[in-house]
Amino acid sequence: MTTLLRTPTAWPSVLLRRDRAGRGRGRAGGLLADPAAALDAAVASGAFEGLKRAVRELGPDGTIAAVASSRLRGRGGAGFPTGEKWRAAAAVEAPRRYVVANGYGADPSAFTDRVLLESDPFAVLEGLAIAAFAIGATEAFIAVRAEDAEMVRRLEAAVGAAEEAAFLGPDLLGSGRDVTVIVRPVQGAYMLGEETVLLKALEGRRGQPEQRPPFPTERGLFGMPTVVQNVQTLAAVPWIVVNGAAAYAKIGSKASPGTILVQVRGPARDGVAEVPLGVPLRDVVALGGSPGSGRKLKAVLVGGPSGGLLPPELLDTPYEFDALRAVGAHVGSGSIVAADDRACVVDLARLLTTFCANEACGKSIPCRIGTRRLVEIADRAVEGRPMPTDVQLLEDTSADIVASGLCDHERLATLPLASGMRYFRSELDDHLLRSSCPAGVCRPIAVAAGATAAGAAK
């Protein structure tokens, strides 16, 4: 059994290999066959120690204070301080409160959340129980991908075993608080990774984001205060409660301590790894191996489909929330894709923007129409029939979308093209001004540039 995030000091880490369908090794053994035995084994290796300590020693306020002073930040991509979120939800007067664990893992090419839920479901459940106990929630949801039916069954078995052992359910560890955990498989939209969209899906409604404020901590699921956390954040909580906030704050970078799961997709290897936040991007990319002979690294896509394309010169950027935002990328799904010189940056940016535009929910106009315009600009660039105003239009449209967006999806959807324009301007100019593709990927319309003779000779 691999204990991801439970021992957040393991670095350099190893890649957990997964096949393309997302199935991997490193599963908690025998969970489906005998859940109780699997739970006993997990408890013997330290699971649910944090919950016991939170309930018996710290109490709700003490737990929130511990999490807040560890400066743990949400692993869902935005990096919002977890302690602050819990404090806000606990402060609101309400008849009910909810905790939602977001294990959807929207990025189709990243398996980080799925790997965590398979390898150590009890860590997530423990974090969920601690969060529910701390803010006084009675119901907790785990939203997972319905496509992975076996993982759903395993998670349900784990919840059942934990309820049998009274780690969850009514009268949690004799504290007098009830925490009912409901596993809710969801599927069918990329946007479900966004917190308000996920809440809509749990309410059985069309998945469109809500304007903030009010934040979900104030008015979330069924109008009640709700804490939405990524499963990785929750899995990190037990260690903090057991070992103390000061110990956790020592790991990783100063502003964002702790470790995080990344999906590395390199030229030689790909898989999920656990890295401390703040390590240079270079070290993370190195996990995926070096490009083959004669090839060199051209760009690194950081953050999934809406991530930024960073040039090799920026590989010394620390892998953490603020530094990545500053250079025009983001942690996002934790996906890190290395592209060598076979790939064309403009083609790649077009692919990513198209995906983001297709997955737009259509609620806000800057998103629905603005991303469509970005795709059209990218299409024109790739097909070699650019318009003279395209560079200016790209800048203006991106700025407008960022300024008027409703949720993070559209603001981040501008990143591939915006970062491509920022760092790979010469390659974009080749497309837009000279109708040629240096990588030879896009169909160069040589005709447009007046080189018909060369084209005909081929």
Binders in 212-241 for other proteins, by CB under 8 A: 222
Q: Which of 440, 447, 452, 454 binds other proteins (CB under 8 A)?
A: 440
CB 43 → other proteins: shortest distance, Å? 32
Vertex 73: Cα angle to 67 and 76 (nearest 5): 130
Tell me the CB-side half-sphere exposure of residue 36, using CA atoms within 13 A: 3
The window from 63-71, 157-165, 307-315, 342-350 that contacts other proteins (CB under 8 A) reads: 342-350
The window from 6-14, 48-56, 437-445, 446-454 that contacts other proteins (CB under 8 A) reads: 437-445
Q: Which of 342, 365, 425, 455 binds other proteins (CB under 8 A)?
A: 342
The window from 113-121, 209-217, 368-376, 439-447 that contacts other proteins (CB under 8 A) reads: 439-447
Residues in the chain: 458
C-beta atoms surrounding 202 within 10 Å? 22
The window from 333-341, 367-375, 417-425, 448-456 that contacts other proteins (CB under 8 A) reads: 333-341
Instruction: Answer yes or no whether residue 423 interacts with other proteins by CB under 8 A.
Output: no
Q: Are 197 and 406 in contact (CB under 8 A)?
A: no
Cis omega before residue 214 (within 30°)?
Answer: yes
Instruction: Answer yes or no whether residue 424 interacts with other proteins by CB under 8 A.
Output: no
Helix (H) or strand (E) run with residue 118 in it:
helix 112-119
Instruction: Answer yes or no whether residue 292 interacts with other proteins by CB under 8 A.
Output: no
Alpha-carbon distance 456 to 30, whole Å? 64
Q: What is the 3-state secondary structure (H, E, C) of 136-188?
A: CCCEEEEEEECCCHHHHHHHHHHHHHHHHCCCCECCHHHCCCCEEEEEEEECC
Instruction: Answer yes or no whether residue 176 interacts with other proteins by CB under 8 A.
Output: no
Put the strands of the sheet holding 297-302 in their side by side order. 270-276, 259-265, 335-340, 297-302, 308-310
Nearest residue to 309 via CA among 317, 318, 300:
300
Q: Are 258 and 248 in contact (CB under 8 A)?
A: yes
Site string for other proteins, 20-49 (x = CB under 8 A): x-----------------------------
Binders in 1-20 for other proteins, by CB under 8 A: 20
Q: Which of 149, 443, 447, 452 binds other proteins (CB under 8 A)?
A: 443
The CA-based dihedral angle spanning residues 34, 40, 45, 50, taken in that order and rounded to the nearest 10 degrees: 120
Q: Of 210 and 320, which CB lies nearer to other proteins in the complex structure?
A: 210
Longest dimension (CA), the chain: 84
Instruction: Answer yes or no whether residue 153 interacts with other proteins by CB under 8 A.
Output: no
The window from 66-74, 248-256, 385-393, 440-448 that contacts other proteins (CB under 8 A) reads: 440-448
Q: Of 134 and 151, which CB lies nearer to other proteins in the complex structure?
A: 151
Q: Is 256 exposed, middle or buried (0-12, 13-18, 19+ CB in 10 A)?
A: buried
Q: Which of 108, 136, 318, 438 binds other proteins (CB under 8 A)?
A: 108
CB 398 → other proteins: shortest distance, Å? 21
The window from 89-97, 135-143, 201-209, 309-317 that contacts other proteins (CB under 8 A) reads: 201-209
The window from 30-38, 172-180, 181-189, 272-280 that contacts other proteins (CB under 8 A) reads: 181-189
Q: Of 54 and 337, which CB lies nearer to other proteins in the complex structure?
A: 337
Q: Which of 66, 189, 297, 374 binds other proteins (CB under 8 A)?
A: 189
Instruction: Answer yes or no whether residue 109 interacts with other proteins by CB under 8 A.
Output: yes
Quick one: DSSP state of residue 107?
-
Instruction: Answer yes or no whether residue 149 interacts with other proteins by CB under 8 A.
Output: no
Instruction: Answer yes or no whether residue 458 interacts with other proteins by CB under 8 A.
Output: no
Q: Are 70 and 257 in contact (CB under 8 A)?
A: yes
Instruction: Answer yes or no whether residue 206 interacts with other proteins by CB under 8 A.
Output: yes
Alpha-carbon distance 135 to 131, whole Å? 6
Query: Beta strands of 179-277 (E only): which ranges?
Result: 180-186, 226-230, 259-265, 270-276
Instruction: Answer yes or no whether residue 269 interacts with other proteins by CB under 8 A.
Output: no
Footprint on this chain of other proteins (rule: CB under 8 A): 20, 108-109, 146, 186-190, 201, 203-208, 222, 265, 305, 337, 339-340, 342-344, 347-348, 351, 355, 358, 361, 439-443
